[in-house]
Structure 1
Amino acid sequence: MDLKLDELSVVTDGKSLVRGLSLDVPDGQVVGLVGPNGSGKSTALRCVYRALRPSSGTVWVGEQDVTRLPMRHSAQTVAAMTQDGGVEFDFTVEEVVALGRAPHLRGNQALSGRERGLCERAMEQLDIGHLAHRGVLTLSGGERQRVLLARALVQEAKILVLDEPTNHLDVRHQIDLLSLLRGSGLTVLVVLHDLNLAAAACDRLGVLSQGRLVASGTPAEVLTTQLILDTFGVRASVVPHPLTGGPQLLYALNSTR
């Protein structure tokens, strides 16, 4: 299912957080949002999963305005993993993952055998199956991140929205997670801070600065030395990855302007 942000703007307390953002996320592609802190990335994502209503503009899921969908239908269409989506009570890992099925259940309806299988498969994919009976509050930050992604996956939504999903993850689990997204067949909009991971994982990138989209295109088109300098204030060399040929950024200490 296609996702489209159409002239999206968010104004809060007289401050423009997002300004006329238009971005297409085609069916089955992984599109990354990158940009400095405070550039509007998370705010834009909140409009997609309906934690925030835009001041103007529209989020289209397929041919429908997401704000006009019934909440249950919206949750069946868009799944989100957010920065502030932690768990405050000490549920077990399998209980938290099972919460992803809530949009598909009525009242206290029990999980079906198929749904239990979905949860088990997601936990295995995220390498947390061995933690199923552990309390979430006993886990490391990286383990919790993987639990929350498993919860989003079992939602079986067509669109997946992720806000900095690689936070707290070691390098192996960063690569495993992004490889899973690339092979999922889902429409994915993801905020990433690591530009090299974004270059490797995303079909296209949108670069935000001060709430505006300043560049969009393939990683090779977008990640130039001039854009990195203008947007992030960092001098970087862009070289081809020796295995994939994709762009890789090399930094040095004291490289900020």
Structure 2
Amino acid sequence: MDLRIEGLGVVIDGKSLVEELSLDVGGGEVVGLVGPNGSGKSTALRCVYRALRPARGTVRVGGDDITGLPMRRSAQLVAAMTQDGAVDLDFTVEEVVALGRAPHQRGNQALSARERELCVRAMERLDIRHLAKRGVLTLSGGERQRVLLARALVQEPGVLVLDEPTNHLDVRHQIEVLSHLRGAGLTVLVVLHDLNLAAAACDRIGVLSQGRLVASGTPEDVLTEQLMADVFGVKATVVPHPLTGDPQLLYALHPAL
């Protein structure tokens, strides 16, 4: 299922946060959004999962304008894992994961055998099945992050939107989560701050600066030394990863060197 962002504009309190953003994510493609803090990345994602209504432009999922769909239907099509996806009530891990089925159910309908198996598989993939009976408020930040991602996957969306999914995760789980996203066959739009992880995980990358898309393409085309200087204000050397060939950025802590 493809995702198309067409001419998106967001204005809040008279300030333009996103301007004329157009970006396509093909079916099964992983596309990353990167950029400095305050560049509009999270704001753009909120329009995709309908937490925010844009002032201009359209978000289309499978050809349908997302704002024209019933909320239940859009929740079936788009799952989101957000930076502020806190769980304030002490549900168990398995209860939180099962909430991903809510858009597909009515009332207090019990999970089917297939849905229970879906929850179990998601917990196994994200290495949290052993936490199933634990209260989610007792978990570490990284464990809770994996619970929220399992909940999103259980939703069985056509499009998965992720805002900093590797936040709080150790290196092993960062790699496992991003590897899973690449192999899941979903259409994924993901915000990442770690540009080396973005280069390894994403088919294409869009770079936002001051609310505008300033570059878009493969990691090799986008992550250049000039862009790092122009957009991020840092000196970096780009080298190929010795095993995968993906571009990797080496930063200089002292730009004058």
TM-score category of the 2 structures, normalised to the smaller one: over 0.9
Deviations 1:201-229 (A, max 9, x none): 00000000000000000000000000011
Q: How far apart, CA to CA, are the structure 2 residues paired with 1:181 and 1:228?
A: 26
Residue pairs, 1:180-191, within 5 angstroms: 180-191=180-191
Deviations 1:100-122 (A, max 9, x none): 00000110000001000000000
Q: How far apart, CA to CA, are the structure 2 residues paired with 1:92 and 1:222?
A: 42
Structure 2 equivalent of residue 76 of structure 1: 76
Structure 2 equivalent of residue 118 of structure 1: 118
SS at match of 1:57: strand
Residues 162 and 256 of structure 1, relative CA distance in 2, 3 Å threshold: farther
- Per the TM alignment, residue 254 of structure 1 is displaced from its structure 2 partner at its CA by 2.3
Q: Which residue type is aligned with residue 3 of structure 1? A: L
Runs of 4+ in 1 over 4 A off after TM superposition: none
Deviations 1:134-190 (A, max 9, x none): 000000000000000000000001100000000000000000000000000000000
Q: Which residue type is aligned with residue 215 of structure 1? A: A
Structure 2 equivalent of residue 34 of structure 1: 34
- Per the TM alignment, residue 256 of structure 1 is displaced from its structure 2 partner at its CA by 8.3
| RMSD of aligned residue pairs (Cα, Å) | 1.0
Q: How far apart, CA to CA, are the structure 2 residues paired with 1:51 and 1:165?
A: 18
Residue pairs, 1:71-110, within 5 angstroms: 71-110=71-110
Q: How far apart, CA to CA, are the structure 1 residues paired with 2:68 and 2:254?
A: 49
Q: How far apart, CA to CA, are the structure 2 residues paired with 1:207 and 1:5?
A: 14
Give the gaps of 5 or more residues in structure 1: none
SS at match of 2:10: strand
Q: Which residue type is aligned with residue 73 of structure 2? A: H
1:54 aligned to 2:22?
no
Q: How far apart, CA to CA, are the structure 2 residues paired with 1:76 and 1:185?
A: 16
TM-score by length of 1: 0.99
Residues 219 and 256 of structure 1, relative CA distance in 2, 3 Å threshold: farther
SS at match of 1:10: strand
Structure 2 equivalent of residue 201 of structure 1: 201
What number of residue pairs does the alignment pair up? 257
Structure 2 equivalent of residue 227 of structure 1: 227
SS at match of 1:21: strand
Give the gaps of 5 or more residues in structure 2: none
Structure 2 equivalent of residue 246 of structure 1: 246
Structure 1 equivalent of residue 164 of structure 2: 164
Paired-residue identity, %: 80
